[in-house]
Amino acid sequence: MKVALILDADSPSFLQQAQEINRFLQQSQLAASEVALWLFHRRVHPERLPQFDCAITQIQWLKSPVLLVAESVLPLLEQVYQIYPAELLLFSSCSLGNELATRLAFRLNGASCLGVMSGQIDESGCQVEKSVYGNNMMATLTLRATPYCLGVARQGGAVAQTQDYQEIEQQLILTEAEMPIWLVEHQVSMPEEPPRLTRAERVLAIGQGAGNSQNVQRLNDIAQALGAQLGVSRPVAMNAWSSMSTMLGMSGTLVAPEVCITAGVSGAAAFSVGIRHSKFIVAINTDPDAAIFSQADVGIVDDMNSVLEALVDCVQQSNIRGISRQLSD
């Protein structure tokens, strides 16, 4: 079976999108004989490219216009598909990836599905798993028309490792994508630097139990004392107690820190998806039946403020002892 991974090599989130596809590959059962990278590019090719758990056998470079829009590159993807008729085409979770997966499947008489977490292909078709009903259930769907054009689920945190692909066969598609005739003018704005929350190794996630904006500011100070970044649930952000850039969950940021401490969070499904890739989760809540405890490695039933203050004291005492040992040595 041939598989093609389609990405924009010029995107600021190139390595993060590659890691999302890599996680799909890790969680799937695919007997791929060949795996190709189809990479859009506008400038010089990157010296190092994302590393995947499967062996890349071929790289196709597709020259894209300054403004990468689906209408301009769909004919280019159709052309590459004629050269390399892959049975499975994987796209990133971004809006462009989702649009390309849907529209290319229609043009090639295939089938598409978005937000896919894992997949398996056999003689009956392509079975995929994805979250449905606000991340409260998992659905298994079967696609029967090839090629299967899948947009992978949005993941959080880590970016893909890189490696040198100089020994891999690489082809440059000479056809240049043209801008659609209906697009008469465009402006390109440089994206802002991604928030530190997405790359944080420690996250303090607070919910509506914080009570008010003043306490949220105090909890932000506690987060800094713990060497963590502050993240908030949707109610906290919508109440303007914290900026929208700190919102965690399905409609906010997805994180994958080493340690995530949740405080005053009930554990709604839409929030939980934002921290599910955390390696270690500590939950603090006064309600022993809060849903967040089912996701936590350690649960503490107590007042969040007193627990966090005690935790800061422990960290500070530990730092003092560490400095004392260094001075004595």
pLDDT single digits (tens) 47-76: 789 999 888 999 999 988 777 888 888 989
Q: What is the pLDDT of residue 194?
A: 57
Residue 50 backbone dihedrals phi, psi, to 5 degrees: -60, 145
What is the fold, at CATH topology level, of the domain defined by 196-328? Rossmann fold (3.40.50)
Identify the residue whose tokens are 């340690």: 259
The backbone region for 211, taken as left when phi is positive above 0, alpha when psi lies in -120 to 50, beta otherwise, is left
CB 299 within 8 A of CB 280: no
Percentage with pLDDT > 70 across the chain: 93
pLDDT of residue 327: 42
Q: How far is CA 262 from the centre of its chain?
A: 20
How far is residue 309 CA from its own chain's centroid? Answer: 32
What distances in angstroms separate CA 181 from CA 77, 99, 138, 184, 273, one per listed residue?
A: 19, 19, 41, 7, 40
Residues 6+ apart with CB under 8 A from 304: 206, 209, 210, 263, 264, 284, 285, 286
Average pLDDT over residues 81-95: 93
pLDDT tens sequence across 242-278:
999 899 988 888 898 999 999 999 998 889 989 988 9
Give residue 225's pLDDT band: very low, low, confident or very high (50, 70, 90). Answer: very high
DSSP H or E segment with residue 272: helix 269-272
Which pLDDT belongs to residue 216?
Answer: 93
Rounded Cα–Cα distance for residues 171 and 220 (Å) = 50
Task: Please determine whether the domains at 2-173 and 196-328 fall in the same fold group of CATH.
Answer: yes
Residue 212, pLDDT above cutoff 70? yes
pLDDT over 70 (residue 214): yes
| Architecture per CATH, 2-173 | 3-Layer(aba) Sandwich (3.40)
**Average pLDDT, integer, range 103-114:** 96
pTM, entire model: 0.78
- φ/ψ of 318, rounded to 5, equals -65, -40
Please give the Cα distance from 263 to 77 (Å, whole number): 47
Domain ranges (residues) in the chain: 2-173, 196-328
Read off the pLDDT of residues 280-309 as tens digits, 9 standing for 90 and up: 999 999 999 999 999 999 999 999 999 999
pLDDT of residue 190: 62
Bridge partners, residue 297, by sequence: none
Please give the pLDDT value at position 325. 60
Q: Quick one: which of 51, 16, 13, 57 has its CA closest to 34?
A: 57
Tokens describing residue 20: 């999302």
Structural tokens at position 195 = 């928030």
Instruction: Return the structure tokens found at 216.
Output: 């949220």
pLDDT attached to residue 46: 80
- Among 59-68, 220-229, 310-319, the range with the most confident prediction by mean pLDDT is 220-229
CA distance 60 to 73: 14
- On the question of a cis peptide bond just before residue 147, with omega within 30 degrees of 0, the verdict is yes
**So what's the pLDDT on residue 195?**
67
pLDDT tens readout for residues 143-201: 999 999 999 998 776 788 898 888 888 888 767 777 777 777 767 666 555 567 888 89
Q: Taking the CA atoms of the chain, what radius of gyration do you get in angstroms? A: 23
Dist. CA 214–CA 220, nearest whole Å: 10
Give the separation between CA 283 and CA 261, rounded to whole angstroms. 6
Strands, E assignment, the chain: 2-8, 34-41, 49-50, 58-63, 88-91, 111-122, 125-132, 137-143, 148-152, 162-163, 169-173, 202-206, 229-232, 259-263, 281-285, 298-301
Computed over every residue of the chain, the mean pLDDT equals: 88
**Residue whose token pair is 């209906």:** 182
Q: CA distances (Å), 310 to each of 266, 276, 316, 317, in order?
A: 22, 26, 10, 11
